[in-house]
Amino acid sequence: MQVYISVDMEGVAGIATLDQILRGGFGYGRAQELMTEETNAAIAGSFDGGATSVVVNDSHGTMDNLLHDRLDPRARLVFGSPKAQCMAEGLTAESDVALFVGYHAPAGAPGVLAHTFSAYFGEVRIDGRRVSEAEVNGLYAASLGVPVGLVTGDDVISGIASSAFPGARIVTVKTAHGFSAANTIAPSAARAAIRLAAAAAVRGAAGLARPEPPTALDMEIDMPSPVAAELAAGIPGCVRTSDRTIATTVSASEALGLITVLYELAAAGERTRVAIATRR
């Protein structure tokens, strides 16, 4: 039983502010600890449920947040960025189930620290519908035949995941009170709930439906500036449909790779815009 765990930071219990999730912030070190301990809870639960191997992907920001010497040594860790498959790096067709820990709402939704892959993106839409990171990563998992068995985070992503992943375990560790405010359960309580849910997800993995992803996804991404959209339009298959919007059609297996490239271009476009603005 091979288990894959993708761990983000914004959906971890006890985390709600930018100061906590950005490297250099006063609260960042403590947030690393909270993220690491929720990861350990998911790892322990996976082995409780019968896992024979666990691969963890650090999926937040620069993707080197987890405290390696504090991680459960039974798991392997994928970390660093950029990665070709971003938040789903390390997931393979040999994985039996995927667990998403510390996830959050998409850009434009009223969740804690809501965004979609990059703070520079406005929205990411598939087939005209706003999507979260969990849903895009879930589509990639589906392209490999891997079901999603667990999603943890705030109440907003919990509602989205309940609909997107029938049969998955959902653990709500906090309720959003705004973009950077939350009503959270105690971290110890969150870890206990995640461990139990991870164990149940792994035990029940064989009974989860293996959804068939669409053969083609019509994806739109709102870039942060016209400069960023202009850069992105240079990618074959990408079309600039407005000053800031890029549209393309991709398979589920291609979406994450393209998103990775687009958020690097979004960052480059913002650097150009800021450089021009500061010269005035």
pLDDT at 229 > cutoff 90: yes
Q: How confident is the model at residue 276 (pLDDT cuts 50, 70, 90)?
A: low
For 136-184, the pLDDT digits (tens) are 999 999 999 999 999 999 999 999 999 999 999 999 999 999 999 999 9
List, by residue range, all CATH 3.30.1360 domains of the chain.
Answer: 217-278
List, by residue range, all CATH 3.40.50.10780 domains of the chain.
Answer: 2-116+132-207
State residue 211's pLDDT score.
80
All residues at 6 or more sequence positions from 191 whose CB lies less than 8 Å from its CB, including other chains: 13, 37, 38, 40, 41
Classify strands 217-222 and 124-126 as parallel, antiparallel or unpaired: antiparallel
Mean pLDDT of 265-276: 77
For 172-227, the pLDDT digits (tens) are 999 999 999 999 999 999 999 999 999 999 999 999 988 888 889 999 999 998 98
State residue 215's pLDDT score.
86
CATH top-level class of 2-116+132-207: alpha beta
Nearest to 264 by CA among 231, 219, 234, 222: 231
Active site residues: 115
Q: How confident is the model at residue 277 (pLDDT cuts 50, 70, 90)?
A: low
CATH number of 217-278: 3.30.1360
